[in-house]
Amino acid sequence: MTSAAGVLEVERDGAVLVLTMNRPRQRNALDRELTDALSAALDLLDDDPSLHVGILAGRGPAFCAGTDLHEPSSPATDRGGEYGLVRRRRGTPLVAAVEGPALGGGFELVLACDLVVPGTDARFGLPEVARGLVATCAGLFRSADRLPPAIAAEMLLTGDPVGAERAHQVGLVNVLAEPGQALERARELAARITRNSPDAVSASLRALHDSRGPAEAAGWTATDLAIARIAQSPDPAEGIGAFFDKRPPRWSR
């Protein structure tokens, strides 16, 4: 069963729910409409006991470019937090099938998933510092949880992306696919999960998430402090303005 809800395509394939972000002209940037659609689909994944695995993908040349810069802040929902996913308490595994760039909030979506399957042309990045911003949707602490600390620091401080092959070498990636094959390889990985006891998989996943709880709480506190610090600087307005003007930013110092 497949349903096209405009900005999000939802396909039910047996026990697997495939969610494909569908704003290709905007590089699947997350606005309020896409966030609400994604949150509703993830509610279905969480609440329907016949669904055992979810896959998150993106239509077009990019997985996701992060928050739509026309939004005043990263859209959020009551149940899922930012993008309807970042703070969600899940008992159903979610696989990211990544083709092309996953940048900023797009990479934070990947970090909110449990397993990662990119094409070799995928790139992962946290470019916020290049715009006078900080990563606000868990990138500041989940990057260091999922990657070696030195690699996380490189991404956060330079803003430069990491390619899929390097991400695979350092342990972020579960399966590396040929370009255009990430979704197919993600389906194969999902099938490996659906062979197992749904209750045992759910209990194991919840235990993994619960074990990270104290570190996540500290990470959100540190993120709030970073946001408060950067709010006192003129650099965010300059960085975003320079981005829209397509010019180099002129930082305050």
SS3 16: strand
Two tokens, residue 43:
């509610």
The fold for domain 2-200 equals 2-enoyl-CoA Hydratase; Chain A, domain 1 (3.90.226)
Q: Which of the residues 128, 154, 188, 216 is marked catalytic? A: 128
Residue pLDDT, tens place only, 108-153: 999 999 999 999 999 999 999 999 999 999 999 999 999 999 999 9
Q: Which of the residues 11, 33, 108, 184 is marked catalytic? A: 108
Residue 128 bears catalytic tag: yes
Two tokens, residue 117:
């399957």
Percentage of residues in the chain with pLDDT exceeding 90? 95
Two tokens, residue 67:
């928050």
Query: What gap in Å lies between CA 135 and CA 4, rounded to an integer?
Result: 31
**Average pLDDT, integer, range 200-215:** 97
Would the pLDDT of 5 be above 70?
A: no
Q: What is the pTM of this model?
A: 0.95
Residue pLDDT, tens place only, 23-71: 999 999 999 999 999 999 999 999 999 999 999 999 999 999 999 988 8
Pairing label, strands 101-103, 81-82 = unpaired
Closest CA to 124 of 105, 145, 143, 107: 107
Residue 108 bears catalytic tag: yes
**pLDDT recorded at residue 1:** 47
SS3 174: coil
SS3 22: coil
**pLDDT recorded at residue 122:** 98
Query: What gap in Å lies between CA 173 and CA 229, rounded to an integer?
Result: 32
**CA 30 and chain centroid, separation:** 11
Asked if 13 contacts 51 with a C-beta cutoff of 8 angstroms, the reply is no
Q: What mean pLDDT value characterizes the chain?
A: 96
Asked if 54 contacts 93 with a C-beta cutoff of 8 angstroms, the reply is yes
Query: What gap in Å lies between CA 104 and CA 210, rounded to an integer?
Result: 25
Two tokens, residue 83:
């993008």
